Amino acid sequence: MGKETSGSGSWLLLTRRVVQASVLVLTIVTGYRMTHGAAEASIERFCPFGGLETAYALVTGGTFTCATGAGNLTIFVALLALTVVARKSFCSWVCPVGTVSELLSRWTRSVKQLSPKNGWNRAWNYQTLGISTPPPAVDRVLRWLRLPILVVILFFTFRTGELVFRPFDPYYVLFSFHGHDVQAYSYVLLAAVLALAIWIPMAWCRYLCPLGVALWPLSRVGVLRVGRSDATCTGCRACDLACPHSIQVSRLTTVDAGECTLCLECTEACSSSATLSLRRVPGARRTRAWLVPLIVVCLALAGVAGSSAIRIPSTTRTFVTIPGAEAARVRFTLSGVRCVDTAASAMDRLAPVPGVLSATAFASRHEIEVEYDPAKTSPRELKDAFEAPFQDPESGVWMFHSFTVLEVDGERIER
């Protein structure tokens, strides 16, 4: 098979840039529209890490944690399948934080006038991306930082039922446009992460990302890999310098490192068409490079589409059982319903309304489905109950404008 990609303007590089840019723009637009009330879909709904964070609550109680929902679950399952087949390609093709990190690292190419022979840089390897990279031994140790970070996040999330990582998560802080739980220190930490990405290429992804370390074991045994032919390799090490994660490709016959994201930058940098190629195991047979974007896009779309097919409630409440009552259902989309707690608070508004039988919340969709007796109440009365001033039964504090009904059974409310 001849070399399918050649040069920085090749179709494969262009495809990856288009996929990255598309996801980044969609994430920014979704976050902005959600913040300004023009959309109900939160960026948290599309975060695969939420699928891992909610795993304990889903297994033990059959409900989701905080603001997570079916979208997080289906996208996480799709991500696991993607990692088994195409390793951590999500990180280099889809992840918005990975895209921003890569853009920042590439921006530092403007400092190339700083010679790698300067004394200050002798202990650090000058890279194509970023200003410097720790020596391999230090780099390997620093990568282990992600594991205790993951353990701490999951421990406190499982224990409290809250998304404790939210104010520290670069994805949420950057793209939620000052969303719920974002604090002043969140921006300080975000600035530190972005600054670090300028200095050390892909620093967040290498040393801090909890999702990255969770995917590492599956990525290690992934089917698709970059293979190298000793017979045609010139030893120029262009592939080593091109790798955003500093994998020493020139020393490997098959790149089986769990850090490989199949960005295929190494195959682009190689001057020999017969040296580096995409292969699949077992058998290390060569395969077409276009399989990577095809698999990435198909599984990403499957994960998002699956969220519409699966409906698992965040919480359910039964108010009263009326034997023989003819029950009707109505679905409300409410601003202010962000998580399990806010959904429960919205349900409290329904308690005084006669004829309300039960309510089921889907917090990640900002929806509450109400089952009611149409002989005793109506959707109009239920809407008014959600939006009316409410006195908290525990604190005695009156709350105003906590919730606004945006849609009733999918029809938008004109105001």
- Which residues are bridge partners to 280 per DSSP? 224, 285
pLDDT, position 61: 86
Task: Supply φ then ψ for residue 79, to 5 degrees.
Answer: -65, -40
What confidence score (pLDDT) does residue 174 get?
96
Going by the DSSP 8-state scheme, the letter that residue 414 receives in this structure is P
Tell me whether residue 180 is exposed, middle or buried, using C-beta atoms within 10 angstroms of its C-beta: 0 to 12, 13 to 18, 19 or more. middle
CB 328 within 8 A of CB 371: yes
pLDDT < 50 stretches in the chain: 1-9, 113, 115, 118-126
What's residue 243's pLDDT? 92
What SS3 state is found at 37? coil
Tell the residue number behind the tokens 């809250």, with chain if given.
Answer: 162
DSSP for residue 413: P
Ordered structural domains, the chain, with CATH: 11-307 (no CATH), 315-412 (3.30.70.100)
Which residues, including other chains, have CB under 8 Å from residue 110's CB and lie 6 or more apart? none
The partner residues of 276 in beta bridges, in order of sequence, read 228
Residues 6+ apart with CB under 8 A from 240: 246, 247, 248, 249, 250, 266
pTM of the model: 0.86
Residue with tokens 């309304």: 353
Cβ–Cβ under 8 Å, residues 79 and 90 = yes
φ, ψ of residue 225 to 5 degrees: the values are -145, 160
